[in-house]
Structures are given as structure tokens and as C-alpha cells.
């Protein structure tokens, strides 16, 4: 297996054993964070970070990852770039990608809902960069997927549950005003179903996720002989769950106006109060872990009691972002391992 | 003495001998800037810099400090973060600080007047971060204090005056339109009074500084048996001074409207022209040094003749920012020394 | 020859043999990119990058250059600085430059048309910084010149043509809506004429470049016994050319309103369609190379067929930016070579 140069846009596109290689290396890197085995892997090498959307945590974890591998991550805001579009003059992605490939050893891109005019455009952009770049392109979260978050989630489950095969995870919509992306819950369902978990998805009517992703999750479950179900109440999905994942997300009509209509989404979400992970609901589970991609909207998605409780692994999973990203960069930007 | 993990929000909260340890190490680092004794202390380590307010000099000096210690400072603009407030959904500082503590080894925060709605809010924010962070939190200038500037000032006085005990410093308001923060003069008075200087504070009626800080400066002087006085003319304070510090600052009613009212402050300052450090005034001193935290508003706060004259130590003090910050980072972010 | 501390604002101000030293070192660095001969040259050293105008490629190439030399480049946006002007209070360049010289080992500045109110102001600003800085000041593109691009261009011609003496280059205006700076074509004509090329400049009436630069290009040609001519049609200049350089640029009246009037410039450019480098025109050349400073406005300045064709060296020249900048930094910021 050689991952050198491989793009990561969605974990589903990588083989199980390739993902396992990342997770194994990440676990070693977590145990022995500053080992000379890895602190020079990216020495004098550059990782470009394109933030179409600003971010604090993703930036911190990627930039720290490069530093810990001996390299340097550049924080770039592409508003400075004038790319060619259907209606405006500018540079082609072909040209931009070819030149970046001369300077750097990897390219991360983050592009979320409010920088695009329809779901899927961010994914298209990443694939266009990946087509022309000779260096690996890594999603740092885009409209469809968030593979590094998915890997960090699974690493957390491995640590706290051991083998996840046959375990049940609930993925539930959470109340709140934050109009969140689909990328994290979609990636989470893909990778957990792929690794053998039973998945229950709970959300109010009108909050369907991407039907293609749901079909893939079903296919993953079918292949593993596990179950996938959707419920539309905020309680029953907790029954017997080993892991509870709660998260607000936007509805499929968020772009009806051609741009992300946050005000309308907030009004819609306000019609569904009480979709919150609380102690009463957690009592129905199999002493479930609580997991969340952060930032947490405490009091809406989850109570403080649960988010800060003994079964919450949110900080550990957040830390895992660093380790899985270090492992990914080491495996795709060098062929030293 | 072990400073590992210690926050620095105001020098007053550190023991004299702790501050002396920083200054001694800073002096060694200035004499032998690239010695292998320190160039690897932060290797592969990250210092996070949160600039609620933009800055050029503070950023340059902190980022250079990290580089010279072998580490990396990340320049972060928290506008990308959505923190929970009384009226808006978002992430708690508890969550943000816990995750940052997993990635990084230190956190610097800069937050000045125009990012807050009342004096003291910036200080509260730093203390909230410090409460939850397991890594040291260092003020990079906030509404109340600017400890790194105070240390750089004192280091400059040590270099050019030797022992400062019993020497007199004038701290005088300066004319001008720049509506400056209280943080630098307050920190300067705290640290110089603490180390045994006599302090004279001069300003037009209506430009009182924080009464709690003034009370602390008085207490420092009382403890050292030195003098503290306030005068409201622009001349008499120079008499017999060994050091002159001039600086424009805003009035205590700057936030009357709930946000920093710069236009009104500029109009008010225009009523007090001629509060300038010039040759005639300097003749009244004991051949005083001229010191200023920069940027200097030449022609308003001080004449070119004095700012660029033989007794001005402004560039040397500015350089000291680098050295005291390197010493601080070395002592609080590692336990190697 | 010792280039330590030398500013680079325009290649014309450097001796031929000094420019050759940069190009020779750049060629070695390109052949052996991560040789230990250079990967520690800037260790623990800082290069400050002042971007009055945002940029992606220039930033990537300078920041990568610092990383590959073992140092660190700080990305600074001077909007955070309040400089003194004729009408507003603020810091003098004298003060800013003196302090930066204490922290860093080099300073790059980028300032283009839309940040100034008349052609030449950017150049004045760089020279004012250079006057006060004790560290080298390097243009990262300003209104008049783009020396690093000129060096990268010439390096590309050396690679693909060998000796350029007596060869002919066409520099032609290109159609399009991008209202480009004069800095790249002016620098290109200066450096190619200086190194012995015949230069033909083609543009529609009304698109004259800086008359002082044109006079210097003529003087360079006179000194070398080569030819310089200007034509005002989009075809004849191609005859017998060995290198074709096409690029949109603004007219000399762009600042008529005291700020860059992009809308008016776009309307004016629209009157001159068809100034495009295409296969038919290239057939008139001596199998010419195609060169462009990027970003390319495909379909306006040049056809895809030519920009992506076998004689296009645009990506190789873009990569050269990295190598010439590494060589420059090594020679001016250290005296190790």
C-alpha cells in the first residue's frame, strides 16, 4: 500500500485498509507525539491551506500538524484569488493548481455553505483542484464531506469502545440556531457504517440529508449485515445506543434563494425545540458515549450535564483531529513511511 | 521557582523575583540571540496568537520570538470564531480553551478598546480563557494591562539607568488624535513603582486612569517608601525626572455610548494642545531618558528632536519586546530552563 | 561581490554580475532543492512580508522560499498599521522601519495600483522603507517594477533558449478585463534588454507605458547594439520573435480620478478586442516560446492552445519565482554564501 500523492475528499473513496493505516499511524503519533520518527517528515515542506471559509479549530489543528512534522502550513484566504467563472475573467483552476504543485507538497481546502450557491459546488471545486494538482488535495471540510473529522471520530470510538463492529450509533438532529453543514454527520455515518456499526438517524420531518449519501450508508450497512433506520422523533433512537452523536444541521431547501438563507433556516429550526441530548434520553442507551464534532451549541444540541459528563469524549475527539491529520500528511505528502 | 504553565495578565500578579527571572533570561537572550541554549526550546511547539485587534508590532515580535525559539506562532483572528454570548448562540470559552490546550503550548490574546463595550471586558475575557486553559495565557495587550510592554520598558531602564530604585519617572498625557489605550501607561506605572521608582503622573483634568490601578501604584510606592503624585499641568512634572514617558490616552468617558466613541475623544483631546515632550521641558529634568511604547505620534506627543535624540531609548525598548517575550515563552511554555 | 543587506526595488539598479550571481544560485537551488547547503541558511530568521495588496502566488512563493531556507516568513497586512500621512496622525516610516530592522532579517513589500492614488506612489513608499531599514527591502511587485518576476522570466529564457543575446522578444498588450499593472512587462523589458535581447513592444494607441522606463529600455538596447521598436498593431510584432510575452495592462489615464478607475479601464479595453496570442500569430515567429507572468486570462490574452502548448513555459517560469527568491534571500539576508 502506498498513499503518496493520494487525495482525500471523502473516506468512502479510500479502502478500509488504507483508512486503517492512517488510524494506526495516528494512534502511534498520539502515544509518542514528538518522536523523532516523525518530527522531520515534512522538514522544509509546505502544506497550503485554502480557507474559503474562516475557521479557528481546523486551522489550528492543520497548522499545528505541519509544525509537529517539521514543516510549515500556509494560511491562505482565496478571496485574494480571482478565479475564472462562467461570467467573470480570472485564472483557471488548471493554472492555479499546476503552479501550487510546483511550490508545495499538499493542499487543503475548506469551503462551506455560505461560499457556494448550491449544495455540491464545494465538492466540485475540490475535485477540480484534485484533477489538476500533482500534490494531494485534502478536504478540510466542505459542503458534502469532512473526512478528517470522520477519521477523528472513529479514532475516538476505537479508543473508548474498542472494536466498533455491531455497536449501535444514533445520529440525531439537534435544536439550535447555528445552521450547520451536512458534512460532519454525513462523513460520520459513512465511516461508522463502513466499519460495521448499526446506524439510527433521527431528525424532524423536512431535515433529510443528501439522498446519495444515505444510499451509500445503507449500502455500507447491507454489506456488513448491520441495520440502518431513520426515525422522526427525538427519543426512540436512543434505545440501546452505544454512541450518541447530536448535531444541528440545515434543511435541504437552505439554498432556495441561490444563497444560504440563514434567517429562514433559523426560523425553521425554531419550530423544533427540544431535540436535545439530555440525561433522560441518555438513560435509554447502553451507557452510550457522547460524541460531537464541535463547536457544541450547549443548551440546544446537548445539555451541559452530558457534554461535560463522564461519557463525553468531545475533547479527545477534537484532539484526534491533530493526530489523524499528521498521519494523513505523513502518508500522502511523503513516501518516507 | 517554576513558571511553567503560569499565566501573565498583569505583572502585578507575579512576584518580583519571578519578573526578575524573566528579565535576566531576556538579557541573556539579547546578548546571545541565536545561542543553541534557546533555539530549540519550542521546537515543534505552537503558540496561538488571538488578535481580536489587528497589530503589526506585537504580531511581529511574538511571531519572531516563537521562530527564534524554534517553534511556530499561529496568527489567528477570532472573528472566525462564534463564541456564545448572553444573546447569541455559539461556543463556550470552556470548550474553545480546552481544545486549544490539546493542540498548543501557549495562548496569547490581544483585545483593545474598540472590540469591547466597556472598560474591563477585555480583562474579563483573558481571565475566562485562563480559567479553562491548561496552557499559559499571555496578554498581548488588553484594555487594562500590557505586561510584555511593561517588562520591555523596565528592561530598557535597567540597561540605560542601571538600578532604578529611587529614580523618578514622569508619566505624562500627550496631545494628539490617536485615542490610545490605558494599558501601556498603567502597566508602566505598576512595574516601575513596584521596582522602586518615584512616579509623577501628569494629565489634564478629565483624563483620570483606572482608580484601582492608581490605588495599586500608590500602594507599591508606599511599600517602597517612594513618592507618587498627580499634577494637572504639562510642565512641572518634568522637574528632576530621570525618565520621561509621554503618551496620549483616552478619557474615562470614552465608552459613554456603549462603544468606543473615537470622534468625541478626538474633539476632547483637541482642547488640550501643547502637552508635548520638547527640549524646553526636558531641560527641567535630570538629563532624563525618553521612553515610549510606540507607535509614537511625533509632533503631538513628542518633538522629533527628543524622539530621535541621544536620550531616546524607544527603539531599544521596542526591540526588548522580542527578548522579554522569548524569555516568557521559554519559562512558561517549557520547563527546560 | 557582497550582496548582504542590498535592497532590490528594480533589477536595473543592480549590476549585471550581481543579477547573474542570483540566477546562478537559483539554478543550483532548482537542481538540488533541499540540499543542506541552503536548508539552514535562514534558520530562526524572519522575513516580513507586507501585503498592501493581497496575493496568492507571490505569497506562496515567498513563504515557501523562507521555509525551504529553514526560516519563517510572516504574512502581514498593513491595514493594521496607521502610518502618518499629510493629513492623518500615525507612525512614521522611520519608526516602523527601525523597529522592524530589530526583529527581522528582510522585508518584502507588495503594493499595487488600487492602494495608491497615482502611479509612482508605491515606488516612493518602498524607497522610504529602504531608506530607514537596516535590513534589505525586496519588492514583491509594486506599481513600477516586479524584479523577482523579471529574474524568474530571465531564468526561464536561459533554461529554454540558452544565451538570450541577439534574440528577439515581443511584448504585446493583451485584450481583457483584468486591468493589470505595468510592473511585470516593464521589469521584463528592462531585464531582457539589459541582457542583450531585441525588444518589440506592441499595443493599441493610448496604452503607453512609463516613458522613463521606455527610455531606459532604449538605453539598454543602445548599449547592447540591439533594436527597440514600438508598433501599434496586434500582428506585425510577432514576425521573427523568439519569445512572445502577452499581457493586459491599464492605460496611463487609469488614475484620472485620483483612484484606480477599473470600470472605465474595462470599458476602454473592450474597444480593443482580438489582441490575443493565437496559433496564427505564433506561426509568424521563430518557433517562439510563450511566456507570461500569470495569472493568465485565457481566451483574452492568449488561447488555450498556446498557453497549454509545447512552447509555453509559464509553469516553469512561475516555479522559478521560488528559486530566484530563495537565492535573493540567501544572498541579501545572510552573508554565508
* B45 HSE (CA, 13 A, CB side): 21
DSSP secondary structure string for all residues of B3-32? -TT--BS-GGGS-HHHHHHHHHHHHHHHHT
CA proximity to C245, closest of C281, C216, C219: C281
- The residue of B55, B67, B70 whose CB has the most chain C CBs within 10 angstroms, and thus the best one to mutate to test that interface, is B67
Tell me if A295 and B43 make a contact (CB, 8 A cut-off): no
> Distance between CA B129 and CA B96 in Å, rounded?
8
Tell me if C75 and B70 make a contact (CB, 8 A cut-off): no
Q: Tell me the C-alpha to C-alpha distance, in Å, between residue C70 and each of B37, B45, B334, C97, C245.
A: 18, 16, 22, 24, 34
Cross-chain CB nearest to B60 (options C77, C95, C103)? C103
**Which residue of B lies nearest to A296 if distances are taken between CA atoms?**
B91
H or E stretch at B213: helix B211-224
CA proximity to B275, closest of B250, B248, B253: B248
Q: Which residues of C touch B75 (CB under 8 A)?
A: 74-75
User: The domain B11-146+321-333 is classified under which CATH number: 3.40.630.10, 3.60.10.10, 3.90.25.10, 3.40.50.1370?
Assistant: 3.40.50.1370
pLDDT at C79: 74
In this predicted structure, the answer to whether residue A307 has a pLDDT above a threshold of 80 is yes
Q: Which residues of B touch C75 (CB under 8 A)?
A: 75
Which chains reach chain B with 3 or more Cβ–Cβ distances below 8 angstroms? A, C
**Which residue of C lies nearest to B319 if distances are taken between CA atoms?**
C102
Instruction: Reduce the DSSP state of residue B256 to 3 states and report it.
Output: coil
Cross-chain CB nearest to A80 (options C54, C298, C319)? C54
H or E stretch at B106: strand B106-111
Query: Mean pLDDT, to the nearest integer, of A224-250?
Result: 98
CA C80, distance to chain mean position in Å, is 26
Cross-chain CB nearest to A56 (options B76, B84, B94)? B76
Query: Mean pLDDT, to the nearest integer, of A60-76?
Result: 97
Size of interface B-C (CB pairs under 8 A): 78
Q: Which residues of B touch A57 (CB under 8 A)?
A: 99
Residues facing A303 on adjacent strands:
none
- The residue of B46, B64, B181 whose CB has the most chain C CBs within 10 angstroms, and thus the best one to mutate to test that interface, is B64
Tell me if C315 and A98 make a contact (CB, 8 A cut-off): yes
CA angle B208, B209, B211 (to 5 degrees): 100
**Residue A246 corresponds to which cell in the numbers above?**
447530536
* Residue B307 neighbours by CB under 8 Å, 6+ apart: B290, B292, B296, B298, B314
Tell me if A76 and C56 make a contact (CB, 8 A cut-off): yes
Q: Which residues of A touch C70 (CB under 8 A)?
A: 44
Cell 531585464 appears where? C191
**Residue A226 corresponds to which cell in the numbers above?**
448491520
Q: Which residues of B touch C96 (CB under 8 A)?
A: 56, 295
Q: Which residues of A touch C314 (CB under 8 A)?
A: 95
Q: What is the pLDDT along chain C (337 residues), one digit of tens a residue?
A: 899 999 999 999 999 999 999 999 999 999 999 999 999 999 999 999 999 988 889 999 999 999 999 999 999 988 767 777 777 788 999 999 999 999 999 999 999 998 899 999 999 999 999 999 999 999 999 999 999 999 999 999 999 999 999 999 999 999 998 999 999 999 999 999 999 999 999 999 999 999 999 999 999 999 999 999 999 999 999 999 999 999 999 999 998 888 899 999 999 999 999 999 999 999 999 999 999 999 999 999 999 999 999 999 999 999 999 999 999 999 999 998 8
**Which residue of C lies nearest to A79 if distances are taken between CA atoms?**
C54
Tell me if A296 and B79 make a contact (CB, 8 A cut-off): no
Which chains reach chain C with 3 or more Cβ–Cβ distances below 8 angstroms? A, B
Cross-chain CB nearest to C298 (options A45, A92, A104)? A92
Size of interface A-C (CB pairs under 8 A): 79
pLDDT at A80: 67
In this predicted structure, the answer to whether residue A136 has a pLDDT above a threshold of 90 is yes
Q: Which residues of A touch B74 (CB under 8 A)?
A: 59-60, 63-64, 75
CA B118, distance to chain mean position in Å, is 19
Cross-chain CB nearest to B104 (options A54, A64, A177)? A64
Q: Which residues of A touch C296 (CB under 8 A)?
A: 91-92, 95
Q: Is B35 exposed, middle or buried (0-12, 13-18, 19+ CB in 10 A)?
A: exposed
Q: Which residues of B touch C98 (CB under 8 A)?
A: 315
Cross-chain CB nearest to B78 (options A56, A177, A298)? A56
> Distance between CA B263 and CA B266 in Å, rounded?
5
Relative to beta strand C46-51, strand B289-291 is unpaired
List where CATH 3.40.50.1370 sits in chain B: 11-146+321-333, 149-317
Cross-chain CB nearest to B54 (options C80, C95, C98)? C80
CA proximity to B53, closest of B77, B84, B75: B77
**HEC per residue, chain C:** CCCCCCCECCHHHCCHHHHHHHHHHHHHHHHCCCCCCCCCCCCCCEEEEEECCCCCHHHHHHHHHHHHCCCEEEEECHHHCCECCCCCCCECHHHHHHHHHHHCCEEEEEECHHHCCCCCHHHHHHHHHHHHCCCCEEEEEECCCCHHHHHHHHHHHHHHHCCCCCCEEEEEECCCCCCCCCHHHHHHHHHHHHCCCEEEEECCCCCCCCHHHHHHHHHHHHHHCCCEEEECCCCHHHCCCCEEEEECCCCCCCCCCCCCCHHHHHHHHCCCCCCCECHHHHCCCCCCEEECCCCCCECCCECHHHHCCCCECHHHHHHHHHHHHHHHHHHHHCCCC
Instruction: Tell me if B227 sits within 8 A of B193, measured CB to CB.
Output: no
B→A contacts (Cβ < 8 Å), by residue, are: 43-46, 48, 71-72, 74-82, 84, 89-92, 94-96, 98-100, 102-104
* Residue C316 neighbours by CB under 8 Å, 6+ apart: C156, C159, C160
> Distance between CA A305 and CA A279 in Å, rounded?
7
Q: Tell me the C-alpha to C-alpha distance, in Å, between residue A249 and each of A12, A185, A239.
A: 21, 9, 22
**Which residue of C lies nearest to B74 if distances are taken between CA atoms?**
C74
Q: Which residues of chain B have pLDDT under 50?
A: none
- d(CA A224, nearest CA chain B) in Å: 34
> Distance between CA A146 and CA A293 in Å, rounded?
10
Instruction: Tell me if C68 sits within 8 A of C38, measured CB to CB.
Output: yes
Is the preceding peptide bond at C295 cis, omega within 30 degrees of 0?
A: yes
Q: pLDDT (tens digit, 9 = 90+) per residue, A70-117?
A: 999 999 988 767 777 777 788 999 999 999 999 999 999 999 998 899
Tell me if C54 and A74 make a contact (CB, 8 A cut-off): no
Tell me if C104 and B60 make a contact (CB, 8 A cut-off): yes
Cross-chain CB nearest to B46 (options A64, A70, A294)? A64
C→A contacts (Cβ < 8 Å), by residue, are: 34, 39, 54-57, 59-61, 63-64, 67-68, 70, 72, 75, 176-178, 294-298, 300, 307-308, 314-315, 318-319, 322
Which chains reach chain A with 3 or more Cβ–Cβ distances below 8 angstroms? B, C
> Distance between CA C12 and CA C1 in Å, rounded?
17
Architecture of domain A149-317: 3-Layer(aba) Sandwich (3.40)
Cross-chain CB nearest to C57 (options A45, A92, A99)? A99
- The residue of C44, C55, C62, C67 whose CB has the most chain A CBs within 10 angstroms, and thus the best one to mutate to test that interface, is C67
CA proximity to B323, closest of B156, B106, B108, B142: B156
**HEC per residue, chain A:** CCCCCCCECCHHHCCHHHHHHHHHHHHHHHHCCCCCCCCCCCCCCEEEEEECCCCCHHHHHHHHHHHHCCCEEEEECHHHCCECCCCCCCECHHHHHHHHHHHCCEEEEEECHHHCCCCCHHHHHHHHHHHHCCCCEEEEEECCCCHHHHHHHHHHHHHHHCCCCCCEEEEEECCCCCCCCCHHHHHHHHHHHHCCCEEEEECCCCCCCCHHHHHHHHHHHHHHCCCEEEECCCCHHHCCCCEEEEECCCCCCCCCCCCCCHHHHHHHHHCCCCCCECHHHHCCCCCCEEECCCCCCECCCECHHHHCCCCECHHHHHHHHHHHHHHHHHHHHCCCC
Sheet of B198-202, strand order: B228-231, B198-202, B168-173, B243-247, B289-291
Cross-chain CB nearest to C80 (options B55, B318, B322)? B55
The alpha-carbon radius of gyration of chain B (Å, integer) is 20
Q: Is B271 exposed, middle or buried (0-12, 13-18, 19+ CB in 10 A)?
A: exposed
Tell me if A56 and B80 make a contact (CB, 8 A cut-off): yes
ipTM > 0.90 (yes/no): yes
In this predicted structure, the answer to whether residue A295 has a pLDDT above a threshold of 70 is yes
The alpha-carbon radius of gyration of chain A (Å, integer) is 20
Instruction: Tell me if C183 sits within 8 A of C161, measured CB to CB.
Output: no
Amino acid at each position: 500500500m502506498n498513499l503518496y500523492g493520494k487525495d482525500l475528499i471523502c473516506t468512502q473513496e479510500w479502502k478500509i485498509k488504507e483508512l486503517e493505516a492512517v488510524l494506526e499511524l495516528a494512534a502511534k503519533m498520539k502515544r509518542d507525539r514528538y518522536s523523532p520518527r516523525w518530527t522531520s517528515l515534512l522538514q522544509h515542506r509546505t502544506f497550503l491551506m485554502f480557507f474559503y471559509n474562516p475557521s479557528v479549530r481546523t486551522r489550528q489543528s492543520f497548522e499545528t500538524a505541519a509544525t509537529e512534522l517539521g514543516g510549515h502550513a500556509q494560511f491562505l484566504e482565496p478571496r485574494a484569488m480571482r478565479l475564472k467563472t462562467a461570467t467573470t475573467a480570472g485564472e483557471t483552476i488548471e493554472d492555479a493548481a499546476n503552479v501550487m504543485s510546483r511550490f508545495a507538497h499538499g493542499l487543503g481546502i475548506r469551503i462551506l455553505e455560505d461560499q457556494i450557491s448550491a449544495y455540491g459546488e464545494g465538492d466540485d471545486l475540490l475535485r477540480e483542484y484534485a484533477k489538476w494538482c500533482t500534490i494531494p488535495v485534502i478536504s478540510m471540510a466542505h459542503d458534502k464531506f469532512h473526512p478528517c473529522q470522520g477519521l477523528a471520530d472513529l479514532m475516538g470510538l476505537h479508543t473508548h469502545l474498542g472494536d466498533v463492529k455491531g455497536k449501535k450509533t444514533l445520529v440525531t438532529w439537534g435544536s439550535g440556531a447555528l445552521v450547520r453543514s451536512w458534512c460532519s454527520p454525513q462523513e460520520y455515518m459513512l465511516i461508522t457504517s463502513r466499519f460495521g456499526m448499526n446506524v439510527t438517524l433521527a431528525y424532524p420531518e423536512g431535515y433529510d440529508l443528501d439522498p446519495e449519501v444515505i444510499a451509500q450508508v445503507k449500502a455500507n450497512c447491507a454489506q456488513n449485515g448491520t441495520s440502518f433506520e431513520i426515525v422522526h422523533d427525538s427519543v426512540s433512537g436512543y434505545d440501546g445506543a452505544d454512541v450518541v452523536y447530536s448535531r444541528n444541521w440545515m434543511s435541504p431547501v437552505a439554498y432556495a434563494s441561490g444563497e444560504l438563507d440563514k434567517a429562514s433556516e433559523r426560523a425553521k429550526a425554531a419550530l423544533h425545540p427540544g431535540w436535545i441530548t439530555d440525561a433522560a434520553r441518555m438513560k435509554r442507551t447502553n451507557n452510550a458515549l457522547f460524541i460531537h464534532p464541535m463547536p457544541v451549541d450547549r443548551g440546544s444540541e446537548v445539555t451541559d450535564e452530558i457534554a461535560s459528563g463522564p461519557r463525553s469524549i468531545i475533547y479527545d475527539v477534537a484532539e484526534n483531529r491533530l493526530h489523524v491529520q499528521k498521519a494523513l500528511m505523513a502518508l500522502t505528502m511523503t513516501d518516507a513511511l
